[in-house]
Structure 1
Amino acid sequence: MNELNFRVATEEHAAQIHQLVETAFRTTDNRKDWTDNLGLVSSFRLHVQEIIDVITKPDSVMLMATNDQDILVAAIGTSKRDANYARLFQLAVDTSQQRGGVGRQVLEYAEGYCRRIWGVTTIGLDALSCRKSLLSWYLRCGYEMTGETTPFPREKFEGLALPDDLCFVEFEKVLGEASAE
């Protein structure tokens, strides 16, 4: 795996990140339990303004990972919620780079960023309940299910047959001590 270069995104990167997130979230993947609702995947929509809002909001950043040719291969959103807690969201990896460890590298960098820059001790995130493989992946990355769920925004997907129990599963991870980097 090639080494990734990380930086904080600016508004000029919003369109590029938007394209990456939409492509990554819409990909059809035949792995069992990766996603079991292709209608949901194909209906996913994100607006560039949503990316700009993250980039320009205080205590919130989009982190970009580029390869050695400065091509965007992954991104993740981070948001500080209080002195000890931050959230991660919209982890997206270029479809040609998936299954190669890029996601784990990006997740670890985002955790380190939140610890170094904001001094947080706990990270939270969520994942769609139907994505069993993704839920397991977060567990393998050291996250624990909190037992809480967040409702899925069904109003954004009217007309789709969605499972009654579809929701976001909440995870948390307590970070280790900050190391000298």
Structure 2
Amino acid sequence: MTQIAAAKPADADALKLLIESAYRGDSARQGWNHEADILDDERISLAEVEAMLADPAVGLLVARDDDGRLTGCVAVTRKDDTLGYLGTFCVDPQLQSAGLGRKLLDAAENEARSLGLRAMEMTVITQREVLIAWYERRGYRRTGETRPFPVLRDPPLHFAVLEKPLTGA
């Protein structure tokens, strides 16, 4: 039975490994949701994970299996009094398509509501149409805004901005 709870500082190393395995390299290709065909650099550093865990504006949730192994994660960052940002969302590639992503997304949205946030925003690389469609099926909508990818690429990458109201849900 999967447990979803707040991440702890002691989870930093396991979180880094989980995030890298879900987004990059051959391990990521075992699942449907990865960036391995677009990007091949490090997804997140250990220092970045530790900073997220220490930041009071970030709520990092983790899913654990019965053995306590991390199987997924998602972060909710308070942007202002009403808006949260959903990020660092991943599921172990071998467990994708089994409903864990949906459970993590629901937990993140509930966390945001408990903080009094009324909307959730996220960014997705525009080339990831299948992932954008998954979010759209869960109530997220493209705002029409795009943002540049933080690292220069050739060809350049951009993020689509998606948002979902959390009130009345």
CA–CA distance in 1 between the matches of 2:34 and 2:80? Answer: 32
- The counterpart of 1:126, out of the listed 100, 110, 123, is 123
Higher relative contact order (CA 8 A, sep 6+): 1
User: Which residue pairs with 2:137 in the alignment?
Assistant: 140
TM-score (norm 1): 0.84
TM-aligned CA deviation for residue 58 of structure 1: 1.8
Residue 167 of structure 2 aligns to a residue whose secondary structure is coil
Displacement of 1:100 in angstroms is 1.1
Number of positions where the alignment pairs a residue of Structure 1 with one of Structure 2: 166
Q: Contact 2:23–2:36 at 8 Å: present in 1 too?
A: no
Q: Which runs of no fewer than 5 residues in structure 2 stay unpaired?
A: none
Q: Percent identity?
A: 28
Query: Is the 8 Å Cα contact of residues 76 and 110 (structure 1) preserved in structure 2?
Result: yes
* 8 A contact 2:119–2:167 mirrored in 1: no
TM-score, length basis structure 2: 0.89
In the alignment, residue 163 of structure 1 is paired with which amino acid? P
Three-state SS of the structure 1 residue aligned to 2:79 is: strand
Q: Distance in 2 between matches of 1:124 and 1:52?
A: 23
Shift of 1:35: 6.1
Partner of 1:42: helix, strand, or coil?
coil
Kindly report structure 1 stretches of 4+ aligned residues shifted beyond 3 Å. Answer: 34-37
CA gap 1:122/1:36 in 2 versus in 1, 3 angstroms = closer
Q: CA deviation at 1:173?
A: 0.4
Unpaired segments of 5 or more residues in structure 1? none
CA distance in 1 between counterparts of 2:31 and 2:155 reads: 19
Partner of 1:92: 90
In structure 2, distance between residues paired with 1:76 and 1:30: 17
Task: Return the letter of the residue paired with 2:141.
Answer: E
